[in-house]
A and B are shown apart, each in its own frame.
Chain A
Amino acid sequence: MRTIFRKELADYFTSVRFLILLVLVLLTSAATLYFDFKGISATTDTEFVFLKLFTTQPEGIPTLFTFPSFIAIFFIPIIGIALGFDAISGERTSGTISRILSQPIFRDSVITAKFLAGLFILSIMVVTTVLLVSGFGLRLIGVPPSLEEIFRLFTYLVFTIIYGAFWMGLAILFSIVFRRVSTSLITSLALWLFFGLFYILLIAPAIANALAPTADGTAEAILQNYELELTLMRFSPNFLFLEASEVLLQPPPVGSLLGVIGVIASGLASWMTPNPLSLGQSLLLIWPHLTSLLCLTIICFAVSYVVFMRQEIRAT
């Protein structure tokens, strides 16, 4: 397995794909720093100033492009899919799969090694992005992070990697199920567009409005509608991760989430406490998110594993 792992890593490092993703990392970091440069001076908060580096939203920039939303909706799914979509179908197209599997190795070590190598690259990308923003941001604002902020960032990193592993696992699953590279890529992308954009922006609000209409305008109806929508949206892994990252990076939580989705009802603003949650409470709040994401990742991997073990490998 170590041999395959090493080869996969070498393949990634020398591929054009890696360079493109690296450029994406640099651009994301640069954009976030630019936002900080434009908007961070406007902040009046005195708590968690360092984390503000990751959440600042200057005027005129849509919420979709702030760091946490961008990472949840675009950056991580793209990297995950890019790393996984041709894992097995690529080998099948090039005809190498039957040659490799006729060597004395366990079949599962092929898929495990590919998954681990992808995870390694993914981690490099994510850590690079966060470190770039932290490093240059530190120069920009001159406020060192507190211990709690460091801990929150670290937890955020772990979350992000698990979230990325989910998308990669999904892409690998499709690369096993479908014979063609293009089919597996398109299916992964379609699922990403659905859950990342259509579902949370259009479908979930539509269902919530249909089931719990807010026409009479009472606070109770609005609350009901909001809760239903939140529940529905949590079916999207993108939203699940976004919610968790908001809690971690933007300690006065939940309210800002509603801003992203644009469903905030004026009556609710007073319902939210402006006080930041403590670290322990934040973690408690997102524990279900973590387990759900981890579960999704494990399910993807387990299904890939089972399908691959039973699959017949033919050269033609």
Chain B
Amino acid sequence: MDKGIVVETKDLTKSYDGVTVVDHLNLRITENEIFGLLGPNGAGKTTTILMLLGLTEPAVGTAHVCGFNSTREPLKVKRLVGYMPEKVGFYDNLTARKNLDFIAELNNISYTESQHQIDQLLKAVGLSEAVDMPVGKFSRGMKQRLGVADVLIKKPKVAIFDEPTAGLDPEGISQILDLIANLPQMGTTVIMCSHRLYEVQQVCHSIGILSKGRMVVEGSLDQLGREAFAGGRYRIEVETTESTPQLVDTLKGVSGVTKVETEGNRLLISADSDLRTEIAKIVVQSNIPLVEMKIHEFTLDDIYMKYFHED
């Protein structure tokens, strides 16, 4: 295994009752990055995670986490990986602290250390006032926060979050996302599944989109934008009182501009970067009054929708 690769799968395949859920998946996740695993419902995200953890056996292929085979050495993998399932559950009769105590004990963390950790983590997820409240009285969002603390208590090398922000209030979302965004600094690689593309875009360094068990596309957001839209990531819309072929030609000549389309008096310019100042200068120089100029930046939503419209 290459250095710096924390998670690697080779031809990972799993099928249920003849339906292939994960289909020869090859995944590589670099150390200390936040990887966003996206895909529609039933794309095989959870099954992939279960195979990474050794909770499910793959039919074909292998999964390695930190150099350990997930199927053969699940205990070593589980020692290094923290997993927060989509529907995270706690013992309702125990308090938040007792729930975390139990997990810490299963991970052989000493009592004094775990107490310190628990206080810190519950503060970080905004639950310090509910430490000694039975989890049965928690709201969904509070359980979700506790779930994040629960993953981090063992200081994992790899943390896997399945829908970490589902059911959270806006403040909670930004709190949790901040926490996740800081994990790579502490040496934790993060895999995050989410349907909220905006959040994924905010924190993830690279992204993989799964569909029907196959990786449709993988890479950093910039790369994905460039691949998905041959035009580049930015679209600049310019409205003028009149449009001349000359202007279009000049604009096409600007470095960074990949495409110019005309639509009456509107010009749609695709570019690699924000070229608004250059474009404005050119329009003004050619003595054509500028009416309006707008810029669209492609979001992950656009990229995602583009891939799934093609299906």
Q: Is the CB of B86 within 8 A of A316?
A: yes
Contacts A3-B102, A94-B90 given; does A315 touch B46 at CB 8 Å = yes
Q: Is the CB of A102 within 8 A of B53?
A: yes
How long is the Cα–Cα vector from A96 to B86 in the complex, in angstroms? 11
Interface: A14 (CB within 8 A)? yes
User: Which of A43-51, A67-75, A103-111 makes up part of the contact surface?
Assistant: A103-111
Q: Is the CB of B56 within 8 A of A312?
A: yes
Interface: B55 (CB within 8 A)? yes
For B103, the closest partner residue in chain A by CB is A103
Interface: A139 (CB within 8 A)? no
Which residues 95-145 of B have a CB within 8 angstroms of A?
A: 102-103, 105-107
Interface: B289 (CB within 8 A)? no
Contacts A102-B78, A103-B107, A105-B106 given; does A95 touch B56 at CB 8 Å = no
Which residues 3-23 of A have a CB within 8 angstroms of B?
A: 3-4, 7, 11, 14-15
How long is the Cα–Cα vector from A98 to B47 in the complex, in angstroms? 13
How long is the Cα–Cα vector from A312 to B46 in the complex, in angstroms? 12
The one of B46, B85, B102 that contacts A7, using a Cβ cutoff of 8 Å = B102
Contacts A103-B103, A312-B55 given; does A95 touch B88 at CB 8 Å = yes
Q: Is the CB of B46 within 8 A of A314?
A: yes
Q: Is the CB of B85 within 8 A of A95?
A: yes
For B108, the closest partner residue in chain A by CB is A104
Q: Is the CB of A315 within 8 A of B102?
A: no
Interface: B81 (CB within 8 A)? yes
Which of B75, B102, B150 has the most C-beta atoms of chain A within 10 angstroms of its own C-beta? B102
Q: Is the CB of A312 within 8 A of B50?
A: yes
Q: Is the CB of B102 within 8 A of A102?
A: no
Residues of A contacting B: mostly: loop
Q: Is the CB of B106 within 8 A of A99?
A: no
Q: Is the CB of A99 within 8 A of B75?
A: no
For A315, the closest partner residue in chain B by CB is B85
For B14, the closest partner residue in chain A by CB is A312
A-side interface residues, number (CB < 8 Å): 24
Interface: A100 (CB within 8 A)? yes
For B136, the closest partner residue in chain A by CB is A94
Q: Is the CB of B106 within 8 A of A104?
A: yes
Interface: A261 (CB within 8 A)? no
Interface: B79 (CB within 8 A)? yes
Q: Is the CB of A104 within 8 A of B78?
A: yes
Q: Is the CB of B85 within 8 A of A99?
A: yes
How long is the Cα–Cα vector from A261 to B162 in the complex, in angstroms? 59
How long is the Cα–Cα vector from A101 to B75 in the complex, in angstroms? 10
Interface: A313 (CB within 8 A)? yes
How long is the Cα–Cα vector from A312 to B55 in the complex, in angstroms? 7
Q: Which residues of A lie under 8 Å from residue B154 when comparing CB positions?
A: 103
Which residues 50-69 of B have a CB within 8 angstroms of A?
A: 50, 53, 55-56
Q: Which residues of B lie under 8 Å from residue A100 when comparing CB positions?
A: 106
Q: Which residues of B lie under 8 Å from residue A96 when comparing CB positions?
A: 89-91
How long is the Cα–Cα vector from A11 to B134 in the complex, in angstroms? 13
Nearest chain B CB to A118's CB is how many angstroms away? Answer: 17
Interface: B87 (CB within 8 A)? yes
Q: Is the CB of B162 within 8 A of A315?
A: yes
Q: Is the CB of A3 within 8 A of B106?
A: yes
Nearest chain B CB to A113's CB is how many angstroms away? Answer: 11
Interface: B278 (CB within 8 A)? no
Interface: B83 (CB within 8 A)? yes
Q: Is the CB of A104 within 8 A of B79?
A: yes
Q: Is the CB of A314 within 8 A of B50?
A: yes
Q: Which residues of B lie under 8 Å from residue A99 when comparing CB positions?
A: 83-85, 88-90, 103, 150
The one of A102, A105, A312 that contacts B83, using a Cβ cutoff of 8 Å = A102
Contacts A3-B102, A102-B53, A102-B78 given; does A316 touch B89 at CB 8 Å = no
17 residue pairs bridging A and B, Cβ less than 8 Å apart: A3-B102, A15-B93, A94-B92, A95-B85, A99-B83, A99-B103, A99-B150, A102-B81, A104-B75, A104-B79, A104-B107, A105-B106, A312-B55, A313-B50, A315-B46, A315-B85, A315-B86
Q: Which residue numbers of B lie inside 8 Å of A, CB to CB?
A: 46, 50, 53, 55-56, 75-76, 78-79, 81-93, 102-103, 105-107, 150, 154, 162
Known: A11-B93, A98-B85, A313-B55. 4 other contacts (CB 8 A): A94-B91, A94-B92, A106-B75, A312-B56
